[in-house]
Structure formats: C-alpha cells, structure tokens
Structure 1
C-alpha cells in the first residue's frame, strides 16, 4: 500500500477565545500505487486540512499517515523538507511559480535544492518538456505564458523528482475550459504510466476523470465512488448525485 491514512483527527484552537474547531474527526483510507483518487466535499469539510497533513505541512492531533510504510510523524522537522522534496510532487491552483525564474529554472528548483548535477537535470527535463509540449517555453518567464502553460510548468516541476505521489490542490481552479481539458488529459496519461495522483477538487469535471472519488463531510469520509467501467460522463452524473445528497445532509446508499 502506497499511502495509508489512519484515524486522522485535527483540532485547532482559535487564537481569540480559545475555541476548539475540529477540522478532521476520524479520517481513514488508503491509496494503492498507481491509483488516481479525487477528494471532494463542501467548504469546511476538512479537504484542505487533510491535504496539508498529507503534504507534511501540518501534523494531526492524533492518527497517522504512512507513505510506503514510513510514518510521516516519525520524520524529524530537520528532515521533513527533504522527505517532501524526494517523495511528493505538488500542483497548486495558483501554480506557485517564481516570476524571477525562467520556466526552465522553475522546473529545476526541486532538483537544485536536492543538489542534482546540471547534466542530470537537463537529461531529466528534455523528455518531460517534450511530453508536456513546453520545450519552446523553457526560456520564457511565468508572466509571459498562459495559465494552462503555467500549470504544465508546475506539473513538470512536480514530476521531475520522480515522486511517489502527486498531490494536486484544485489544479484546474484557475484554468479556462480548454486548459482544464488539456490538464486532465495530461493527468490521465501520467496516471496510465503508473503515477499515483491524489487530487483535492471542487470540480465535478476534474473528479470525474479520477478512478475513485472520496467524499468528506464534517471531517470524515462519508462515501466513496469507484469509476470502474463507467465513462467520464457517467462518473460525472454519479458524482453530481452524491454531492446533491451531501448538500441535503442525507445518507448515501
């Protein structure tokens, strides 16, 4: 099992008044290597908190997260950023690119931090740039390219480290419909090649491309859908129905 999430609970104490807010109450699920999983839920359902814990940016109040059998809670603060860089790839809604770096240097950044030699960085970049259709963009800067091209740059940066797991946070949130289609096609190709992807999204369209969708409600996994032999259109309809039930506060059969 690649990722195991066990009984996660997260309680925040507010700064003013000391009120306690329970963001996650009891979240358990696992992700096998090569799976493509989407996580959905209304605002306040705990999606962002869960993603931050999986990204080792936050620690749970109780429970555990294991990646390839290694507990994220067992890794020291000193080693956590290297662990994150070596094992996780990130794709964010707002791209998180550095405007003063070229596209090439943005993609190279995690390898530079890992102390890679330039020759190896170039050797890794060339096939990825070709695959993502961005070779002619490498010398440009983020402010010179479109949103879809920025997200492709971010995907290139995420996969150049050969991560065990890609964590995507609303990856289509800032994209127009054409760029969204393109990105979802790209995620599908990467997943078909064996890349494990976990995506948090509000978009029914994005989630309908995943192999499995987990629905969070009130800090717990409320329901899950497996795509199986369903088409994207059939999955879209099933997800929409489930979200309607979620919003109405009913039980899902």
Structure 2
C-alpha cells in the first residue's frame, strides 16, 4: 500500500495576544494514512482535532513537525501556491456545507474546476456521472436554499470529489443532518471509499466513526489510541468506540 499522508512529530503552540500565555494544542502527533483508507478522528472538545484538521488542510502551519501529502512537504509549498495545491490535492466537506447561496448546486460543485481553468466540456463530463452517483442529478439547477440539508451535503460531497483529490477531509459532516440524512451520507462515504477514495473524517458521532476502517482518538494533543476495524461489523465497531471513549473520559492509559 502507498502512503497518502504522513504526519510526524506534529506540534502546535498558540500564544495569546499579549504573549503571556501559551496553549499547546498539539504535543506530538504521529500517524500515517494509506491510500484507500477511511479514517475517523475522535476526541473531546479541546483535544486538538480542529487544529490538526486545519494543519492537514494547509490552512495553518505547525510550530514543529512535518506533514507530507504524497511526496510533498506541506511546509515547503510556497504561500502563493498553497491555494492551488489545496485545490488540486484535497477535497473538503464541512458541517455547515459552505455552499454559496448565489450559485446553483451545479455551479457550486463546478467551482473548483472553474478556478482550475478547466474547459466547460470537461467539467460537464466530470459532473454528470458524479451527480447521478450521489443522487442529485435532478437538483443541479436548484439553489442551496431550495434543497434539504442532506441534499446540500451531497452537493458539498460532489464539490469535494469532482477534482478527484488525493484525500477528502471531512469536518463533522453529519453534524447538521437529521438521522436519515446522516445515514445516507455515511452510506455514500462508504461507497466512495470502496471505490478507492481516501477519506479522513473528524467527528463526535460514534455512529459516523463506526463506518470507518480505522479510528484515531486524540487526547491532550496526542494520538491516545487507535482502533482498526479488521473483520468487525458496524455494531461491533460502535461498541468498541463507545468503550474507548469511556476510558478516554475517565483518563485511561495511553496506547497509541
């Protein structure tokens, strides 16, 4: 298997405005992601999950340590090229969808290709198979405020996938959805992953994490523990994750 992402000795320290107080958001994070994995990252609020995601998304820089996406050190990408690098290599799915209300679903999905300067014919060829697969082909001319939360999140997933990214980063993707829409999105992620797409998802939801092939638990800025699915079913995975979160909350031993 090929490594898509390699995180080594990642540390992030924030200094308060007057420099009087330092906050260590990430202490020493180490893990790697193989091509085709579906990884969930869990941890309590303040554990460092969001900071980690921002660094992986090249939206923030670590204080020390390295993040390599394929063979590229994210720290070595010049500032003027970082947006292009992000667009070419990463797909994003956010809790609040981040769709533009002034654009149709179709134009929202095509936006990364427009920014990349793709030809319209190429864009159309990429759009239709994906829209059909995600069940939103009849909705493409509608605007975000005309569709449900689940449909918005499918459009957001289509926008993330249309560039065929190395890695999809999902931040609480089921957080704003009802249970039926959440289930549909998780099935969708599972199917996309089976087709070979690598996904890294930050979530508070045990249900969402139970569809992943591996779960990383972050506590106090470090990887505290990880669970591999192996042959476990979703119910067994749900149980294992719940037990691990209980140990985590009780301040159990670190076993990454």
Same fold (TM over 0.5): yes
**Cα distance between partner residues in 1 of 2:19 and 2:123:** 50
Q: Does the 8 Å contact 1:41/1:202 carry over to 2?
A: yes
**Cα distance between partner residues in 2 of 1:25 and 1:155:** 31
1:196 equivalenced with 2:203 (yes/no): no
The 3-state SS of whatever aligns with 1:155 is: helix
Q: Does the 8 Å contact 1:242/1:252 carry over to 2?
A: no
Q: Does the 8 Å contact 1:215/1:221 carry over to 2?
A: yes
Question: What does residue 170 of structure 2 align with?
Answer: 168
**Cα distance between partner residues in 2 of 1:199 and 1:52:** 12
**Cα distance between partner residues in 2 of 1:22 and 1:61:** 10
Question: What does residue 117 of structure 2 align with?
Answer: 115
| Stretch of structure 1 that moved more, 129-138 or 12-21 | 12-21
Give 4+ residue runs of structure 1 displaced > 4 Å after superposition.
none
RMSD: 0.8
Q: CA deviation at 1:149?
A: 0.1
Question: What does residue 246 of structure 1 align with?
Answer: 248
Question: What does residue 129 of structure 1 align with?
Answer: 131
The 3-state SS of whatever aligns with 1:2 is: strand
Mapping of 1:171-250 within 5 angstroms?
A: 171-250=173-252
Residues 108-134 of structure 1: CA deviation (Å, up to 9, x unaligned):
000000001111000000000000010
The 3-state SS of whatever aligns with 1:184 is: helix
CA distance 1:152–1:220, shift in 2 (3 Å): same
Residues 149-175 of structure 1: CA deviation (Å, up to 9, x unaligned):
000000000000000000000000000
Q: Does the 8 Å contact 1:245/1:252 carry over to 2?
A: no
Question: What does residue 161 of structure 2 align with?
Answer: 159
Q: CA deviation at 1:18?
A: 2.7
**Cα distance between partner residues in 2 of 1:14 and 1:177:** 39
TM-score, length of structure 2 as denominator length: 0.98
Question: What does residue 16 of structure 2 align with?
Answer: 14
TM-score, length of structure 1 as denominator length: 0.99
CA distance 1:252–1:231, shift in 2 (3 Å): farther
Question: What does residue 148 of structure 1 align with?
Answer: 150
Q: CA deviation at 1:16?
A: 4.2
**Cα distance between partner residues in 2 of 1:17 and 1:193:** 48
